[in-house]
Structure 1
Amino acid sequence: MSSNHGIYVLDDGDGDEWVTPRPVGEVIADAVAAATDLEPGDLDAIDAYVDLDEVAAVVAEGDRESVDFPVEGHQVTLTREGDVSVA
């Protein structure tokens, strides 16, 4: 999943004191890979799954609480805080 779309979320990683901005596509790909048997490289670019304007409305503009979209048969939710859940 390509992550070069200019939309970033803050990622606290393993809970250390450092918070690092990461491309939203990378964060989503890592979350999907962690929750499934897929690898990040198996996924298309994020805009193949969700409109980037919807993603920006959640994480960049804060106009929405979350956005839900399917990725390779799994339901993904991205929240305003940059949290990703995969079902």
Structure 2
Amino acid sequence: MAVEIGEELLFGDEGSEEKYEVIYTCELNDKHYLLAALSEELNREETEPEIIGFTYTEDEEGTLFYDEIDENEWPEVEAKFNSYLEELEQEE
């Protein structure tokens, strides 16, 4: 799939989109997921960035389509993300 960590994406209603940076991607149960945070919030040390999550698919032309993560899927995606964060902390 085409989405990578660090990639910037626009989310929101047309005309009021906001720039988000992909902070995590994974595949679970044959679905692709991404977590992203507002780019401007990632650079602020005093606040935790709000994280949004989506599943995504790609058509034959490479166009990406996003859907909200189902509330039943969140616990598994969150657990993988937390494991990823722990691995990053151990590397430091």
Structure number, greater radius of gyration:
2
| Structure having the larger proportion of residues in helix | 1
Q: Same fold, TM exceeding 0.5? A: no
TM-score (norm 2): 0.28
TM-score (norm 1): 0.29
